[in-house]
Amino acid sequence: KQEVTQIPAALSVPEGENLVLNCSFTDSAIYNLQWFRQDPGKGLTSLLLIQSSQREQTSGRLNASLDKSSGRSTLYIAASQPGDSATYLCAVDGSGNTPLVFGKGTRLSVIA
Amino acid sequence: IAGITQAPTSQILAAGRRMTLRCTQDMRHNAMYWYRQDLGLGLRLIHYSNTAGTTGKGEVPDGYSVSRANTDDFPLTLASAVPSQTSVYFCASRRNYNSPLHFGNGTRLTVT
């Protein structure tokens, strides 16, 4: 059974700092991995999707990497801003039509 | 604006009552999902549907049922609500397994 772990559970950084969020998964046979953002009281918003054949994806100040063999992904946020404060979740897709398995998220606070 | 609509936004329900949470998407996505999100437990899959006319059980299906009569709608029914079903419920959809997952804004349900 696929298990997804995100460490740390919470992180607080000063504005302007570059930071890395970590995601690990137990079964490397994945189709893709997605990173999401969740603001309080809201649903999740997809940030980046990395196919299993890819090593990384970039969107603006966000860069996500994938190392299938080691069961790890990282989300790099450059020049963090208070507006980046949210919970970030990763999820893996294990096979064609089975649903994603989610980590419990990292709650990020960027202090002005 | 294209997306997922969930209703109601919130509900307080007496134990033993029947309740249907509504979910409609206008993106013509094939797959739809129901998750519940609880503090400390993260997102857990209740039921899913890979295409209209088919449904499947997720991690925590007991006490819930779903139907998928058409592409757009995926209602979740609690036949006889119990306090342990107090949670925030999210509906999600995606075009296929290599597409980003889209979420609604959730229904906050309290069973008393």
Q: What is the pLDDT of residues B82-101, one digit of tens each?
A: 999 999 999 999 998 889 99
Segment B25-37 mean pLDDT: 96
- A32 and B98 within 8 Å at the Cβ level: the answer is yes
User: Tens digits of per-residue pLDDT, A45-64?
Assistant: 999 999 999 999 999 999 99
For the four alpha carbons of A107, B27, A99 and A69, in that order, the dihedral sign comes to negative
- Rg over alpha carbons for chain B, rounded to the nearest Å, is 13
Mean pLDDT of all residues belonging to chain B:
95
Q: How many CB atoms are located within 10 Å of the residue B54 CB? A: 12
Q: What is the pLDDT of residue A95?
A: 67
Per DSSP, what are the bridge partners of residue A44?
A38
CA dihedral A56, A86, B106, B28 (to 10 degrees): -30
Q: How far apart are CA B4 and CA A107, in angstroms?
A: 25
Residue B63 gets the label, from left (phi > 0), alpha (psi -120 to 50) or beta, of left
Least confident of A85-89, A92-96, B66-70: A92-96
- Report B:26-85 residues touching A (Cβ under 8 A): 31, 33, 40-43, 45, 48, 50, 58
- B100 and A46 within 8 Å at the Cβ level: the answer is yes
Q: How far apart are CA B76 and CA B33, in angstroms?
A: 10
Q: What is the pLDDT of residue B86?
A: 98
- Tell me how far CA of residue B67 lies from CA of A21, B3, B11, B27, B100, in angstroms: 37, 20, 21, 18, 23
Best of B44, B101, B102, B108 to mutate (most A CBs within 10 Å, chain A): B101
